[in-house]
């Protein structure tokens, strides 16, 4: 019997019991589909997070307080630190500095209320973070000095409060009960999967400090964004920032009370996390593939018992052990191969649906089905079919012809 | 004392000129069932000449099925010598036995044992497939089906055929590889008397036309009497021949 014959015989045998074959294949379909979908979603999430980190800008450094633990009497970051960092002589690689206060507040207007993220910023923030406006104007020095009760709304917040995204300049909202005047609407950025840039409001940092986000020491800031001249200057800028802050905070060598991150650090952390996530999800999916394989073994064992007489007959007519082995292996690997192919389609469909749902809920995850995932799933499922088919096939091949023919 | 038994003259003559197709001596078969040892064959000897038509009779438990399985190379004797067509087969491995069955033995069963989902043609082709023969399988299978008078039923499946027709397909399958011996185990046992007679006529015809050696296992004396030689088996030995 050549291999084409075995294949055709296996096909015929499987199609003669369609429901059973279909149910067996289903186990593999779900297993492979789950593996493909999970790997695709993992890859999509990774791309999305990487993209959103890259979207922050390659030139940015993030300075936060807190560093090595054995610093005595650590000092917080302040606006004065931020001013020092923008000194062009001490920090020639730095072109923009934006101190930030961050928090969460309740905003109400026209009886509607929403809880949202708040950023207290300086005017420089607008170009350091490239925050463009859909309408109105950004916070200026006068607002800063006067601790003005003015606010910029993200589109999501505007939508929640007013049910529209435009024509809102001049409206007033209450933040934590205090009246603020809307001076602009931030341009819609769409979800980034990391933080929703549209669901936030921006106020002058002085206003935030005085009225909304009180900190232990006046002048304190949560975060300082530092823009380097170019991506190549980021390490140099980081060094300059660290030098300035060390001398200002008078810390010993190797005992910083602040930490400087750049985008690369975030990328590495994020891809480590998503990598673990992908392996985790893929591992769970692989278990279902294993269960599918056991399903194949189960059904092949039943099939061997059912066809004991047939096996006996074939042996009486001159089938060798190998012929019977190939016949049953052909059936089980055909089952798993079919399951694998359908599973790839299912995984692709699930990924597409997840992508649609994610897009609809403003978290842009675009699942990516890599060739590696497809190959992995196909190989794995065929291997599962062969592995779990081996035992039943061997059992069939080892039947004694006399016993098998006598079997009722 | 086998040689003293009366046989048709031409069989005697041919046996002297040619070799025996079946030459078995002192066949012993012991099964172990749990703790019990069952002696199915106790030193049985038998010789069959080419072209002979013989029947094996005996009550159940006499060892006639074991004898048939051994002669048909489905099973190995525990001890003894067995030459099939001059080849010693008593100590061959599984795959070599399969090969012998494929080339030298044709089987006909009481319950036909056709593949239920395959057409008559595919069923007859089956031994040729395992023989690994390419090319003219289809022609040879068609020829065999024609020889049993089923040329117009080649594409029918077993459930579309009568019992007699199914047994004809089985006969075609048994002779398609031009075997040295054809073993028929109660070939008419599942058929009404009319189809049974037709099948016997066909089998005896095959013997006359093609010179096929025919071994029929039966407990129907009317069937056995149509053969040239009747071997009675009792307690794993040849009781008598007639």
Cβ contact, residue pair A317, B94, below 8 Å: no
Cβ contact, residue pair A13, B127, below 8 Å: no
Q: Say which residue the tokens 């067995």 belong to.
A: B82
Q: Does the beta carbon of B99 lie under 8 angstroms from any beta carbon of chain A?
A: yes
Of the ranges A211-215, B8-12, B157-161, which one carries the lowest mean pLDDT score? B8-12
- Cβ(A198)–Cβ(A186) under 8 Å? yes
- Element spanning A103, H or E: strand A94-109
- What confidence tier does B166 reach under pLDDT thresholds 50, 70, 90? very high
Question: Residues, chain A, total?
Answer: 408
Task: Tell me how far apart the alpha carbons of residues B140 and B150 are, in angstroms, rounded to a whole number.
Answer: 14
Mutate to test the interface with B, among A317, A324, A408 (most CBs of B within 10 A): A317
For residue B33, give Cα distances in angstroms to A150, B40, B76: 98, 12, 17
Q: Does the beta carbon of B179 lie under 8 angstroms from any beta carbon of chain A?
A: no
pLDDT of residue B146: 93
Statement: residue A362 has pLDDT above 80: no
Give the pair of three-digit tokens for residue A392.
């039943």
What domains can be seen in chain B, in order of their start residue? 2-241 (3.40.50.300)
Residue-wise pLDDT for B171-205, tens only, equals 999 999 899 899 999 999 889 999 999 999 999 99
> Residue B212 in 3-state DSSP?
coil
> Which position has the higher pLDDT, B127 or B17?
B127
In the predicted model, what is the mean pLDDT of chain B? 88
* Cβ-based contacts of B132 with chain A (< 8 Å): 1
> Residue B38 in 3-state DSSP?
strand
- Cβ(A188)–Cβ(A165) under 8 Å? yes
Task: Tell me how far apart the alpha carbons of residues A137 and A135 are, in angstroms, rounded to a whole number.
Answer: 7
pLDDT of residue A15: 85
Give the residue from chain A lying closest to B177, CA to CA: A317
Residue-wise pLDDT for B33-79, tens only, equals 888 888 889 999 999 988 899 999 988 888 888 899 999 999 889 99
Cβ contact, residue pair A405, B72, below 8 Å: no
| Greatest pairwise CA separation for chain B in angstroms | 53
Residues contacting B189, CB < 8 A, separation 6+: B110, B218, B220
Give the pair of three-digit tokens for residue B230.
């009747």
Give the residue from chain A lying closest to B122, CA to CA: A9
Residue-wise pLDDT for A264-286, tens only, equals 788 888 888 888 888 888 888 88
* Mean predicted confidence (pLDDT) in B90-100: 88
Question: Residues, chain B, total?
Answer: 242
Which among B214, B142, B135 has a CA at the least distance from the CA of B176?
Answer: B142
pLDDT of residue A406: 84
- What confidence tier does B11 reach under pLDDT thresholds 50, 70, 90? low
> Which position has the higher pLDDT, B9 or B141?
B141
pLDDT of residue B1: 41
pLDDT of residue B171: 95
Q: Say which residue the tokens 């053969």 belong to.
A: B227
Task: Tell me how far apart the alpha carbons of residues A84 and A245 are, in angstroms, rounded to a whole number.
Answer: 8
Question: Taking CA B162 as the corner, what is the angle to CA B158 and CA B167, rounded to the nearest 5 degrees?
Answer: 70
The β-bridge partners of B181 are B105, B213
Task: Tell me how far apart the alpha carbons of residues A310 and A327 are, in angstroms, rounded to a whole number.
Answer: 12
Cβ contact, residue pair A317, B130, below 8 Å: yes
pLDDT of residue B5: 53
> Residue B60 in 3-state DSSP?
coil
Task: Tell me how far apart the alpha carbons of residues B60 and A45 are, in angstroms, rounded to a whole number.
Answer: 74
Give the residue from chain A lying closest to B70, CA to CA: A402
* Mean predicted confidence (pLDDT) in A122-144: 87
**How many A-B residue pairs are in contact by the CB < 8 A criterion?**
57
Give the pair of three-digit tokens for residue A191.
């979800």
Which value does ipTM take for this structure?
A: 0.88
Cβ contact, residue pair A318, B127, below 8 Å: yes
Domain spans in chain A, listed from the N-terminal domain onward: 3-53+268-406, 67-256
Cβ contact, residue pair B115, A310, below 8 Å: yes
Task: Tell me how far apart the alpha carbons of residues A211 and A175 are, in angstroms, rounded to a whole number.
Answer: 10
Statement: residue A251 has pLDDT above 90: no
- pTM of the entire structure? 0.70
For residue A81, give Cα distances in angstroms to A121, A220, A241, B117, B236: 15, 9, 10, 87, 109
Statement: residue A341 has pLDDT above 50: yes
* Mean predicted confidence (pLDDT) in A213-225: 84
H, E, C per residue of A60-89: EEEEEECCCCCCCCCCCCEHHHHHHHCCCC
pLDDT of residue B14: 57
Start-end of H helices in A253-400: 263-306, 308-316, 321-360, 371-397
Task: Tell me how far apart the alpha carbons of residues A83 and A378 are, in angstroms, rounded to a whole number.
Answer: 59
Residues contacting A382, CB < 8 A, separation 6+: A333, A336, A337, A340
């Amino acid at each position: 019997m050549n291999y084409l014959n075995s294949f055709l015989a296996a096909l015929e045998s499987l199609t003669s019991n369609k429901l059973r074959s279909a149910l067996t294949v289903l186990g593999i379909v779900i297993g492979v589909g789950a593996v493909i979908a999970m790997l695709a979603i993992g890859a999509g999430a990774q791309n999305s997070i990487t993209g959103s980190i890259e979207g922050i800008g390659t030139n940015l450094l993030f300075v936060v307080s807190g560093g090595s633990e054995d610093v005595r009497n650590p000092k917080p970051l302040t606006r004065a630190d931020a001013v020092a960092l923008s000194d062009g002589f001490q920090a020639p690689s730095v072109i923009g500095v934006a101190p930030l206060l961050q928090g969460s507040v309740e905003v109400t207007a026209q009886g509607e209320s929403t809880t949202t993220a708040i950023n207290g910023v300086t005017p420089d923030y607008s170009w350091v973070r490239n925050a463009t406006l859909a309408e109105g104007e950004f916070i200026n020095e006068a607002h800063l000095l006067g601790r003005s009760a003015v606010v910029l709304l993200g589109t999501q917040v505007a939508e929640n409060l007013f049910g529209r995204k435009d024509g809102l300049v001049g409206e007033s909202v209450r933040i934590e009960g205090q009246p603020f005047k809307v001076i602009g609407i931030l341009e819609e950025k769409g979800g980034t999967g990391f933080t929703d840039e549209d669901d936030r409001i921006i106020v002058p940092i002085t206003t935030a400090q005085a009225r909304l986000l009180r900190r232990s020491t006046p002048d304190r800031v949560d975060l300082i964004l530092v823009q380097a001249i170019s991506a190549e200057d980021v390490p140099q800028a980081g060094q300059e920032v660290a030098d300035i802050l060390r001398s200002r905070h008078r810390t010993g060598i190797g005992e910083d009370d602040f930490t400087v991150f750049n985008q690369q650090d975030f990328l590495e952390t994020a891809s480590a996390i998503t990598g673990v996530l992908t392996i985790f999800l893929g591992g769970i999916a692989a278990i279902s593939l294993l269960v599918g394989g056991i399903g194949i073994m189960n059904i092949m064992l039943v099939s061997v018992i059912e066809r004991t007489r047939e096996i006996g007959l074939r042996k009486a007519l001159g089938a060798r052990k190998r012929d019977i082995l190939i016949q049953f292996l052909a059936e089980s690997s055909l089952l798993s191969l079919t399951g694998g192919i359908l599973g790839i389609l299912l995984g692709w469909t699930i990924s597409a649906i997840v992508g649609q749902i994610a897009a609809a809920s403003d978290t842009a995850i675009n699942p990516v089905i890599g060739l590696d995932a497809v190959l992995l799933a196909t190989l794995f499922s065929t291997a599962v079919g062969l592995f779990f088919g081996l035992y039943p096939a061997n059992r069939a091949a080892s039947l004694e012809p006399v016993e098998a023919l006598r079997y009722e | 004392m086998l040689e003293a038994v009366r046989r048709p003259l031409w069989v005697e003559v041919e046996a002297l000129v040619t070799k025996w197709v079946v030459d078995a001596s002192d066949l012993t078969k012991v099964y172990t069932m749990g703790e019990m040892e069952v002696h199915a064959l106790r030193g049985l000897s038998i010789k069959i000449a080419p072209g002979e038509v013989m029947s094996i009779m005996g009550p159940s438990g006499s060892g006639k099925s074991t004898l048939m399985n051994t002669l048909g190379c489905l099973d190995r004797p525990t001890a003894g010598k067995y030459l099939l067509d001059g080849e010693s087969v008593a100590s061959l491995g599984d795959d070599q036995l399969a090969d012998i069955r494929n080339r030298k033995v044709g089987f006909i069963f009481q319950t036909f044992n056709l593949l239920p989902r395959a057409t008559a043609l595919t069923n007859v082709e089956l031994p040729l497939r395992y023989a690994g023969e390419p090319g003219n399988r289809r022609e040879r299978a068609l020829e065999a089906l024609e020889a049993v008078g089923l040329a117009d039923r080649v594409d029918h499946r077993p459930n579309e055929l009568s019992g007699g027709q199914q047994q004809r397909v089985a006969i075609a399958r048994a002779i398609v590889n031009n075997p040295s011996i054809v073993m028929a185990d109660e070939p008419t046992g599942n058929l009404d008397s009319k189809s049974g007679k037709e099948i016997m006529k066909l089998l005896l015809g095959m013997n006359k036309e093609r010179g096929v050696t025919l071994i029929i296992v039966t407990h129907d004396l009317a069937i056995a009497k149509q053969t040239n030689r009747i071997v009675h088996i009792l307690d794993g030995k040849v009781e008598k021949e007639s």
